[in-house]
Structure 1
Amino acid sequence: MSNTFPAASGHRRNRYLLMRHGHSQANQQGLIISSPQRGLAGFGLSAIGREQIDGLLADWCWATPSRILHSDFRRTTETAERVAQHFGLSLEAEPRLRERHFGAFEGDGDERYHEIWARDARDPAHRHAGVEAVAEVAARMTGLIVELEQHHAGETILLVSHGDPLQILLTALEGGELNRHREREPLAPASITLL
């Protein structure tokens, strides 16, 4: 499998705002929560996360979204709900925006991310211990952008997702080497990146 992903070329028909969820209970507890079994129902926003989203909305400096798609994990759903309520929009749950699955590392302390990222740097196709490969995350995330470009035009679309998938998406769309996705500055909780 290639270490690069074909970069999206040409002008996009839509504007995309990439948002990482606010600080979550998983962040607060220092846990890796990446499985749908645990992430859909539990580990929503922490009090800090709710404050982050409220602050972001009070100082909103981006275009107003016309559509919001979000990972169906609780932390991303709660983030998207707060934004949707602020702008009077409906939500669209999109499983392709889910957290990267970290396999056997599920429920471990978040210090173990570094072991996975070290393997990523050697091989973006690795599936060590059932971890979802970087290349697979890139494919599902960029596939969503391609689909949105085919079916929509002139919209500002807010995509609410997770740190690792968003960094992988940005790396892929820039045509960067996927094994270097962690060389990007980490996306802060409740941050917006204009695509």
Structure 2
Amino acid sequence: MSNTFLAASYHWRNRYLLMRHGHSQANQQALIISSPGRGVEAFGLSTIGEQQLASAVHAWAWPVPTQVVHSDFLRTTQTAARVAEAFKLTMTPDKRLRERSFGEWEGGSDERYPDVWALDAQNADHTTHQVEAVSTVAARMMTVIEEWEQQCEGETILVVSHGDPLQILLTALQDRPLTQHREQPALLPASITQVGAP
């Protein structure tokens, strides 16, 4: 359920493995956990998520990463750690890879996601119910990639983040309108999408 593509207009210096965290306790409880106050210390991987990561590492079908950078939320940190341990790599936390903030819906039911996405499709700058704008998420995610592109060359960088931020990043990398970020297939827990240098 993962994809590989190149942004045709860009000469990539590195390869990126964009990984959504494994199935989490927030997924299990159908909750929106998007604030650092909750997400950094709690709501880590579920038992299903741990199994997903064990399987992914055991049957690794991607280029071997040389760097690991991740959101500092517990579920993404644990996901990154399973891969980093397997390939004996150090990890670099980056707060810019955090979950999109869902504002007033924080801690509530994930049934609110489609309501937010419907508004996203109309306006990538909206902050209705104090939700973080798609354009803001795109900017911070793109900055992470741009900085790695400037800092190094020939690396395979595992980027562990969250569903919405990664879909928004992929939409930006494809140079598509950010309002279309939910039009591509949803990224499944523990899935990897390769972008960048072949």
Shorter-normalised TM range: over 0.9
How far apart, CA to CA, are the structure 2 residues paired with 1:194 and 1:146? 16
Partner of 1:87: 87
Does 2:142 correspond to 1:142?
yes
SS in 1 for 2:69: strand
CA shift for structure 1 position 10: 1.8
After superposition, what is the alpha-carbon deviation per residue over 1:102-159, rounded to whole angstroms, capped at 9, x for unaligned? Answer: 0000011001001100100111100011100000000000111111100010000000
Partner of 2:4: none
SS in 2 for 1:122: coil
After superposition, what is the alpha-carbon deviation per residue over 1:17-58, rounded to whole angstroms, capped at 9, x for unaligned? Answer: 000000000000000000000000000000000000000111
Does 2:117 correspond to 1:117?
yes
Report the number of matched residues: 189
Does 2:34 correspond to 1:34?
yes
**One-letter amino acid of the structure 1 residue matched with residue 168 of structure 2:** I
- 1:22–1:75 Cα contact (<8 Å) kept: yes
**One-letter amino acid of the structure 1 residue matched with residue 26 of structure 2:** A
**One-letter amino acid of the structure 2 residue matched with residue 91 of structure 1:** M
- 1:124–1:178 Cα contact (<8 Å) kept: yes
What percent of counterpart residues are identical?
A: 60
Over the aligned positions, Cα root-mean-square deviation in angstroms equals 1.0
- 1:8–1:173 Cα contact (<8 Å) kept: no
Does 2:107 correspond to 1:104?
no
Partner of 2:3: none
Partner of 2:161: 161
**One-letter amino acid of the structure 1 residue matched with residue 58 of structure 2:** A
Does 2:134 correspond to 1:129?
no
How far apart, CA to CA, are the structure 2 residues paired with 1:45 and 1:117? 25
CA shift for structure 1 position 11: 1.2
- 1:18–1:161 Cα contact (<8 Å) kept: yes
How far apart, CA to CA, are the structure 1 residues paired with 2:114 and 2:42? 24
Partner of 2:61: 61
How far apart, CA to CA, are the structure 1 residues paired with 2:8 and 2:92? 24
CA shift for structure 1 position 8: 8.3
How far apart, CA to CA, are the structure 2 residues paired with 1:56 and 1:82? 9
- Which runs of no fewer than 5 residues in structure 2 stay unpaired? 1-6
Partner of 1:47: 47
Structure 1 residue ranges (4+ consecutive) displaced by more than 4 angstroms after TM superposition: none
After superposition, what is the alpha-carbon deviation per residue over 1:54-73, rounded to whole angstroms, capped at 9, x for unaligned? Answer: 00111101111000000000
Task: Provide the TM-score with structure 1 as the length reference.
Answer: 0.95
- Which runs of no fewer than 5 residues in structure 1 stay unpaired? 1-6
Partner of 1:15: 15
Task: Provide the TM-score with structure 2 as the length reference.
Answer: 0.94
- 1:80–1:91 Cα contact (<8 Å) kept: yes
SS in 1 for 2:182: helix
CA shift for structure 1 position 9: 3.3
